[in-house]
Amino acid sequence: MKNPKVTVLMSVYNGERYLKEAVDSILRQTFEDFEFLIINDGCSYKATEIINSYNDSRMRIINNQKNIGLSKSLNKGLAIARGNYIARMDADDISLPGRLAKQVNFLETHQDVDVLGSAVQIIGDDEKPSIICQFPTVHGYIKWCLYFYNPIPHPTVMMRRQALERAGGYSSSMIYAQDYDLWRRMSGVARFANLPDVLLYLRKHESNISNSHLIQQWKDSIKISRQIISEVVGRKVPINIVQRIWNQQFKTLDKTLDASKIIVRLYHASIANGTLSRFEKRMVRKDAASRLFTLALPRMRNVHMWPLSGLVCLLDPLLVGRTITAHLRNVINKLFR
């Protein structure tokens, strides 16, 4: 048999409530040259029954003897995947019909991009789409954002298999934030992009990982962020500073200044190698200014913050004006409600 162009990789552990919708959304894709590799990671009888109810030649089902976790299951799937591209899918989300077609077309026409995500729209148990979440679209800005959060939504990605293999796949030691850790390691051997189109409905419900293990996921993400930042600044950054950078909350002037120095160091490192396009530089500069302004604003009257305020104005001269305008707009809206 000819190898398919895409392997859609999904690991399932129970989740029978939304499983059929997730599977159907892949089988109804307008792009048809794919295999659908489903890892049954110790599912309940009901979930297993749903998986086995399909009779589609594109589906390949691998049954784990026991639950081994997401990272190991995904690596197991990668070892037998036949597609040139690996598309991730979660068992409680819904891929829009044109998702695979749009991603394949982009990767075929952008040979330099190895990891491609997209915007998502949040849905709940009522199936009604709500908030649209956009993510940075270009490599240089995505790498900058990696310092501060995970800018590539895992269930939306399509990746070149060779780039994924060069990075060593998923870390089997990571129980949560596997994707963020993977992007950290791939950032040295791959290029990233996100499409601005919504290609997936991301389901938020009480039993999914991002809610039931939110605290541990957040802690693991902070550790990964600390690794990325520490590698750039050349020293081990205290974990509490990284936590505060994420929260943007600082109780003392010294901690505020420490955090601002780290952000400035990251900014200079990002633009120093000369690989960023003009657009990427502008996005990094504006985001750096915004983060520094958030640090400086509560202590703007302190003389020690004046150099930082001056740097903000140099990076983004219009930021202060936009902030004042937005504040006045909010005040006016409240007055005339």
- pLDDT over 90 percentage in the chain: 61
Cβ atoms within 10 A of the Cβ of 161, count? 17
Q: Mark whether 159 and 75 lie in a shared domain.
A: yes
Q: What is the pTM of this model?
A: 0.89
Task: Give the least confident one: 38-42, 148-152, 181-185, 302-306.
Answer: 302-306
Contacts 24+ apart (CB under 8 A), 161-164: 161/7, 161/78, 161/81, 161/83, 161/84, 161/85, 161/86, 163/114, 163/115, 163/189, 163/190, 164/78, 164/86
Q: Across residues 102-108, what is the average pLDDT?
A: 98
Q: Mark whether 252 and 210 lie in a shared domain.
A: no
Higher pLDDT, 204 or 90: 90
Number of domains in the chain: 2
Domain that holds residue 269: 248-328
Is residue 335 included in any domain, yes or no?
Answer: no
Confidence of residue 331 (pLDDT cuts 50, 70, 90): low
Does the structure show a pLDDT above 80 at 106? yes
Report, in angstroms and rounded to the nearest whole number, the Rg of the chain calculated over CA atoms.
Answer: 22
The predicted pLDDT at position 130 comes to 83
Q: Across residues 201-210, what is the average pLDDT?
A: 71
The predicted pLDDT at position 211 comes to 54
The predicted pLDDT at position 208 comes to 55
Q: Across residues 55-65, what is the average pLDDT?
A: 93
Cβ atoms within 10 A of the Cβ of 61, count? 14
Is residue 33 included in any domain, yes or no?
Answer: yes
**Residue where a domain terminates, one of 165, 199, 214:** 214
Judge whether 259 and 275 are in contact, CB under 8 Å. Answer: no
Task: Give the least confident one: 6-20, 156-170, 305-319.
Answer: 305-319
Dihedral sign for Cα atoms in the order 95, 104, 187, 163:
positive
Is residue 139 included in any domain, yes or no?
Answer: yes
The pair of structure tokens assigned to 263 is 């952000």
Q: What share of the chain is helix, strand, coil (3-state, %, to 5)?
A: 50, 15, 35
Q: Across residues 194-208, what is the average pLDDT?
A: 86
Does the structure show a pLDDT above 90 at 214? no
Cβ atoms within 10 A of the Cβ of 105, count? 12
Is residue 230 included in any domain, yes or no?
Answer: no
The predicted pLDDT at position 181 comes to 96
The pair of structure tokens assigned to 331 is 């005040």
Provide the mean pLDDT of the chain. Answer: 89
The predicted pLDDT at position 277 comes to 93
User: How far apart are the C-alpha atoms of 71 and 175, rounded to whole Å?
Assistant: 7
The predicted pLDDT at position 335 comes to 67
**Residue where a domain terminates, one of 160, 193, 214:** 214
Q: Mark whether 203 and 282 lie in a shared domain.
A: no
Does the structure show a pLDDT above 70 at 293? yes
Q: Residue 21 to residues 24, 54, 73, 95, 161: CA-CA distances in angstroms?
A: 5, 13, 21, 9, 26
**Residue where a domain terminates, one of 199, 214, 229:** 214
Return the top range by mean pLDDT from 84-88, 219-223, 326-330.
84-88
Is residue 149 included in any domain, yes or no?
Answer: yes
Is residue 280 included in any domain, yes or no?
Answer: yes
Higher pLDDT, 204 or 6: 6
pLDDT in tens, 13-47: 877 889 999 999 999 999 999 999 999 988 777 88
Does the structure show a pLDDT above 70 at 98? yes
Q: Mark whether 13 and 120 lie in a shared domain.
A: yes
Q: Residue 159 to residues 78, 166, 172, 191: CA-CA distances in angstroms?
A: 11, 12, 19, 10
Is residue 100 included in any domain, yes or no?
Answer: yes
Cite the DSSP H helix spans in 167-202. 178-186
